[in-house]
Structure 1
Amino acid sequence: MKMPTRIAVVDKDLCQPRKCSQECIRFCPVVRTGKRAIYFDEQLNRPVITDLCTACGICVRKCPFEAITIINLPSELDEHCVHQYGPSGFKLFKLPMLKQGKVIGVIGQNALGKTTIANILAGSIIPNLCSGNGSKDEVVRRFRGTELQTYFTRLYGNRLRVVHKTQYIELIPMVIKGKVKEALMRINGDESKVLEVAGKLNLTHLLNRDINVLSGGELQRLAIAAAILRGGDVYIFDEPTTHLDITERLRVAKAISELTSGNRYVLIIDHDLAVLDYLADLVVILYGKPGAYGIVSSIKGAKEGINEYLKGYLASENMLIRREAITFKSTPPPREVRKERVLVEWSDVVKNLGDFKLIARSGQLMRGEVVGVLGPNGIGKTTFARILVGELQPDEGVVMPYGVVRISYKPQYIRDIAVKYPELTVSSIIGKVAGVDYREKPHWPDLANGLLLTPIMDKSLRELSGGELQRVMIAAALLKDAELYVLDEPMAYLDIEQRIKTARVIARLAEEKEATVLFIEHDVTMLDYVSSSVMVFEGEPGKLGTANPPIDLRKGMNIFFKAQDITFRRDAHNGRPRINKKDSVMDRIQREIGEYYYYVTEKE
């Protein structure tokens, strides 16, 4: 009988040797027999667990910082171990099988190895095959008989040009200066090609703008344009839809799908399930324990793979990855306007900001509802949020709260907070926003576990990545005692599991505290999952925006997607929204009956 393979991981972020008596080493029963199952590595500055470990679990229980994880996995996985980050470090098992002429999507939580996969396939990391001394020749031999053997042979023989669009677009203004067109022309000197790609990604009007004044969505499109203009045989896109509205996401999806011509390889890592379903031909699912190990599933059709992920059970692997299935409401309830439940009301409001004008038609927010906010970028959603929380005063009209309304606001751009308080720790900033007793609040365990906050609680804000800072500020905003929560793009940088868990906390806040949540978001799947009503913003981005009052979810979604010229159908198994291909049979049927969003298909 084969023994299970053992994964013993010491998390470098959680381990704090200066504050510890190293009880994990002192109490190890193997050490007491004169052998060394665990020892302290001075160079790594943390304990390392050896193959002598018997998985008794004593060190796991003795560690005061929960830094040690020991997991038994089937021995069959040993031969599939692709890369390990040092002794007792994270392990990645298997890789996605890339296919020429196909878009391969990757679904899974953060900290399971998605970026490692991207770097291995881009050639930035030579996988060590968990032996510590992997070479290019060994990698090719490991994957013999598969499509990856051909891929790595060509990659390591310099016969593949790889273009890798990373997720960290906020770094672009720090390393690239000048106008947008100048930057693109330095990448590809063919002006007609630059103009063609700019037109596809709606960048034409930005070509003479300085890069350092671009918004997050504009930087994202610039990064994608730069990737396309580089011209490659392999394209890897890491989170290409962050900060983009739904129309821009589909525009980007179309541009990426066109890259598959000429038998190119395309890999996309994204957390927007609707766009991933629309763009990817095939998907793989990453599962495991974040920070400890990640396993790549077998390749699946996009629809089947996403449905298996939402169900929480991978059929071909016979693996349960989540105890609860995720389903969506196909017939949302109508919105009931009751005067005694109104929390905030506003008259017709006008605000001028330079060349932009926002007109918000009179409306009201009621206790206990989550109001999703839909609209393209540059249409005034953030401006309306800032008026609502009192950061901006309207030029005309008034916002009228009913009684004393405490407000919790998570702004769209949060990097300024880290600049203002660079030395504050995560624990301190959450306490500053939500109160020093935040750990005693009922939603703290869900947020701490769901947003992976425990490993970073003692980090200073200047040490955090953009994604980590986002998770911290979401938790702080949701833990604050308030009647009105205004959340501007809270799902950016979160993985799918984190989005679902955050959405559930938002829904519980509205239901249990009878709080009101204004939820500004571009991820249609999450808007559909958590919203009970919707505000639709219309107009001309950058010039004029009109904010319509909250209405029924069904009616609002139909109005918005009719204006965007997009139709969605509902999956027969779980009700999730799926984008229809333009002029497909389903698209034409739904346009004829005027049902742009809540059309439930029969079994497909």
Structure 2
Amino acid sequence: MSKEAIISAKNIGIGYNAGKHRDQNMLYKNLSFNLYAGEMVCLLGANGAGKSTLLRTISKSQPILAGDIFLTDRNMTHYSEKELSQIIGLVLTDKTSTGGLLVRELVELGRYPYTGFFGQLGKYDKEVVEKSMADVGISHKANSYVAELSDGERQKVMIAKALSQECPIVLLDEPTAFLDIESRIEIMNLLHHLAMYQNKTILLSTHDIDMALLLSDRLWLLSREHGLTSGITEDIVLSGSMDHFFKGDNIIFNRNTGNFFPKRQSDRKVFIEADDTLYHWSKNMLERNDYSVAEERSDSLFILKAINCQSMSIQIAKTGAVSQFNNFEELASFLKTYNR
């Protein structure tokens, strides 16, 4: 069953308009895509790929250089600024001079499309503001100054401001940049929740590939070499698109784990006998110490048996000699000194 796109673009050009010589500043030609209600989409790409430019173009805060973008089947150029501000909320990474505002005051600015800059907030407006703060879990900071907040809390406030606009579409430029791990997970999970349970269309650029693979409904991969590739997250991963979009001489993408790894090559192979968790961390230690994992016992330099973290042993394949280890620290010491 096909879905109707809330935003669609066909063969658009994005970049920077420099008068007559547009091609000199056009980052991409012929980009096409669709955005759907109730989905969270993560835009991935290297630094300088043009992710921010694409987001700004979709939000009409930067002019499109070719082609057309349609918002619910109406050309975006036909929307007034006020109309667009009631449909699209934009959260940028730019530092804003809002530190002197209370959290509630900043979120109230999201009602500007409905009240005007100096408009008075009515009962409904205040209810929307309170709900927006509650939805992102920042109500307890409503009377705190923005300058007093952590980076993660400040990002929540900016999302609450976008929600108070009552926009069906929210675009975010690297909302988890510079956040600690707890805040990054919290923000990404919040955005996923807004898409799933409030039917918001969420499009964000990010370098948090692990969280994008876990929570995004679709991935957009943007690169100067390949243009824009989009699809359901699992289709993108299993098709091999992640491999060639982020390929490099020194990194590889593991489709089984969804992680990137430094490329390692070693003739010193070890066969591991362990349960899943111990196998993973034993393999991690081996590869960090310039060993590789053998598929067969017969191919191995030695055999590592791990019963638990306090009971491990290595049997040398040629001699049959066995060494016992009580923890990974002892194992690491052996690996670093063996045949060096």
TM bin (shorter chain): 0.5 to 0.7
CA distance 1:526–1:476, change in 2 (3 Å): farther
Partner of 1:498: 183
Letter in 1 for 2:53: T
3-state DSSP of counterpart to 1:348? strand
Partner of 1:448: 137
Matching of residue 519 in structure 1 with residue 196 in structure 2: no
Partner of 1:52: none
Q: Quick one: distance in 2 between partners of 1:382 and 1:431?
A: 26
CA distance 1:466–1:509, change in 2 (3 Å): closer
1:361 aligns with one of 31, 39, 44: 31
Partner of 1:437: 127
Q: Quick one: distance in 2 between partners of 1:512 and 1:398?
A: 30
CA-CA distance at 1:561 after TM superposition:
3.4
Q: Quick one: distance in 2 between partners of 1:474 and 1:495?
A: 17
Relative contact order, higher structure (CA 8 A, sep 6+):
2
3-state DSSP of counterpart to 1:400? strand
User: Contact (CA 8 Å) 2:151, 2:179: kept in 1 or not?
Assistant: no
Q: Quick one: distance in 2 between partners of 1:454 and 1:388?
A: 33
Partner of 2:62: 392
Q: Quick one: distance in 1 between partners of 2:277 and 2:260?
A: 12
Aligned pairs for 1:71-86 (under 5 A) are none
State the percentage of identical aligned residues: 25
Unaligned runs of 5+ in 1: 1-335, 541-545, 586-599
Larger strand share, 1 or 2: 2
Letter in 1 for 2:13: V
Q: TM-score, normalised by structure 1?
A: 0.35
Q: Quick one: distance in 2 between partners of 1:501 and 1:448?
A: 10
Q: TM-score, normalised by structure 2?
A: 0.59
CA-CA distance at 1:603 after TM superposition:
5.5
Q: Deviations over 1:415-457 (max 9, x none)?
A: 1x31xx453222100121265324542x6445225xxx634x3
3-state DSSP of counterpart to 1:550? strand
User: Contact (CA 8 Å) 1:410, 1:487: kept in 2 or not?
Assistant: yes
2:91 aligns with one of 401, 410, 420: 410
Q: Deviations over 1:567-602 (max 9, x none)?
A: 34378xxx6x433330358xxxxxxxxxxxxxx999
Aligned pairs for 1:100-249 (under 5 A) are none
CA-CA distance at 1:524 after TM superposition:
1.0
Q: Quick one: distance in 1 between partners of 2:41 and 2:10?
A: 18
User: Contact (CA 8 Å) 1:347, 1:361: kept in 2 or not?
Assistant: yes
CA distance 1:584–1:369, change in 2 (3 Å): farther
3-state DSSP of counterpart to 2:263? coil
User: Contact (CA 8 Å) 1:375, 1:536: kept in 2 or not?
Assistant: yes
Q: Deviations over 1:229-260 (max 9, x none)?
A: xxxxxxxxxxxxxxxxxxxxxxxxxxxxxxxx
User: Contact (CA 8 Å) 1:358, 1:547: kept in 2 or not?
Assistant: no
User: Contact (CA 8 Å) 1:568, 1:579: kept in 2 or not?
Assistant: yes
Q: Deviations over 1:93-143 (max 9, x none)?
A: xxxxxxxxxxxxxxxxxxxxxxxxxxxxxxxxxxxxxxxxxxxxxxxxxxx
Q: Quick one: distance in 1 between partners of 2:38 and 2:245?
A: 29
User: Contact (CA 8 Å) 2:44, 2:205: kept in 1 or not?
Assistant: yes
CA distance 1:524–1:560, change in 2 (3 Å): same
CA distance 1:478–1:601, change in 2 (3 Å): farther
CA distance 1:511–1:352, change in 2 (3 Å): closer
3-state DSSP of counterpart to 1:378? coil
Alpha-carbon RMSD: 3.2
CA distance 1:369–1:468, change in 2 (3 Å): closer
CA distance 1:584–1:436, change in 2 (3 Å): farther
How many matched pairs? 235
1:554 aligns with one of 213, 230, 234: 234
Partner of 1:346: 9
